[in-house]
Amino acid sequence: MPPSLTQFGTQMSKLTGVRAIMKDIIDTLGTTQGQSFINLSAGNPVILEPIAQLWRDCTADLLSSPDYSEVVCRYGTSQGYQPLIEAIIQEFNQRYNLHLNARQILITPGSQALYFLAANAFGGYTTEEKLKKVVLPLSPDYTGYGGVSLTPASLLAYKPRIDLQDRKHRFKYRPDFDQLCFDSQTGCVIFSRPCNPTGNVLTDAEVRQIVNLAQPLNIPVFIDSAYGPPFPGLNYTEYQPVFAPNVIHCMSLSKAGLPGERVGIAIGDQAIIQALEAFQTNVCIHSGRYGQAIATRAIKSGALAQLSTTVIRPYYQAKLNILETALEQYFPDNIPWFLHVGEGAIFGWLWFQNLPISDWDLYQKLKAAGVLVVPGSPFFPGLQQDWQHIHECIRISLTATDAEIEEGIKTIAAILPKVYSSKESAKDR
């Protein structure tokens, strides 16, 4: 007999976005007999040996330290492990000429937990029963934003402008400032930079325009820098993080080789940080201290920032080059395919203009041919307009081997002409 769940229980027990797709992929990999797959769907970072060695070294140092028992055998404060907070303050004050203090930092159990805190502290119904919106100013964006709110009606995303680039078969999403609107109903703003899934990096001018629109209304802007500098530094175009009184700079160590330890970092206004900290206290007391303790050593030594730019970034940038070369070599020129400009993150985002079938149907065809990708439609949470483009995109991971990326692209290239020449009708539009 299924359990009797509350409204929130029903909402939070659902698989949302890419998690529903990943369940299908896991089931496929686990149950299909006699068929091998090229997996271009994975979001797990590649285990890079210099990075893994850094975490082994930091672990060995912690194990031999008198701090070990204090770290793992005792509770800590809800704000986070104090030495890690001090290391972050030192790193950011020196690197970006800031004047942070300890009350401006919060450590969370990964960045997904951070956005759950933010979406429900600032979005949803107020004590006066007014609905506050969680605004995503540029869609598509991280699919995880679609599942963080206990009040799904609070999520609102804006359709982007599409800029076709001078380079053939390239495009870029840009915020549509003619449509973007913040008002008294806006609770907070969230966007990723660099963006999962597209690799998009909003320009400094675009970020500042969003921040300046929100600031007069005292609206917090959460900038998701899970792929940004200084670590993991997965930005292929140089930029500096934007800091402002209403900006909460959000980081994760997952793509810096520590996804299993769930370490998220929020930097921002003291009052906002304290509200999130109180929320976190009620949810989980505090983030795990083991991951925080080894992260302290990696950050304080400077090794994590250095390896981010010398190991992590070059590795994935080379994978992006492999993807681009394969696309140019194998994809038919007479089919309207476009790759989003790769400015960061660990994915390629492909748009097939006027795709005759849905992204989900294309996913199924590619799966039958032995290639696993991620359909694009789950990356448009909160977008309320009916837009064909939503069903014309797929995400490709850069975590596969060079040979797998090339072979996967060859397989997709062979299927596309059949799809475009078929009489199949689009489904679920």
Q: Which domains does the chain have, with CATH numbers?
A: 7-46+310-421 (3.90.1150.10), 50-305 (3.40.640.10)
At 344, list the tokens.
Answer: 């960061």
Contact 250, 223 (CB under 8 A): yes
- In the prediction, which pLDDT does 427 show? 43
* pLDDT tens by residue, 250-297: 999 999 999 999 999 999 999 999 999 999 999 888 999 999 999 999
At 10, list the tokens.
Answer: 């029903």
pLDDT over 70 percentage in the chain:
96
- Characterize the bridge pairing of strands 131-136 and 155-157: parallel
- Which amino acid appears at position 238 of this protein? E
Residue 147 predicted with pLDDT over 70? yes
Residue 179 predicted with pLDDT over 80? yes
Residue 312 predicted with pLDDT over 60? yes
Please give the backbone phi and psi of residue 326, each rounded to the nearest 5 degrees, phi first: -65, -40
Length of the chain: 429
* pLDDT tens by residue, 316-373: 999 999 999 999 999 999 999 999 999 999 999 999 999 999 999 999 999 999 999 9
* pLDDT tens by residue, 372-424: 999 999 999 999 989 999 999 999 999 999 999 999 999 999 999 999 997 54
Q: What is the pTM of this model?
A: 0.94
> What is the three-state SS of the chain?
CCCCCCHHHHHHCCCCCHHHHHHHHHHHHHHCCCCCCEECCCCCCCCCHHHHHHHHHHHHHHHCCCCHHHHHCCCCCCCCCHHHHHHHHHHHHHHHCCCCCHHHEEEECCHHHHHHHHHHHHCEECCCCCEEEEEECCCCCCHHHHHCCCCHHHEEECCCEEEECCCCCEEEEECCCCCCCCCCCEEEEEEECCCCCCCCCCCHHHHHHHHHHHHHHCCCEEEECCCCCCCCCCECCCCCCCCCCCEEEEEECHHHCCHHHCCEEEECCHHHHHHHHHHHHHHHCCCCHHHHHHHHHHHHCCHHHHHHHHHHHHHHHHHHHHHHHHHHHHCCCCCCEEEECCCECCEEEEEECCCCCCHHHHHHHHHHCCEECEECHHHCCCECCCCHHHHCEEEEECCCCHHHHHHHHHHHHHHHHHHHHCCCCCCCC
β-sheet bridge partners, residue 124: 132
Q: Count CB neighbours of 184 within 10 A.
A: 9
Residue 311 and residue 320: Cα distance in Å, rounded? 15
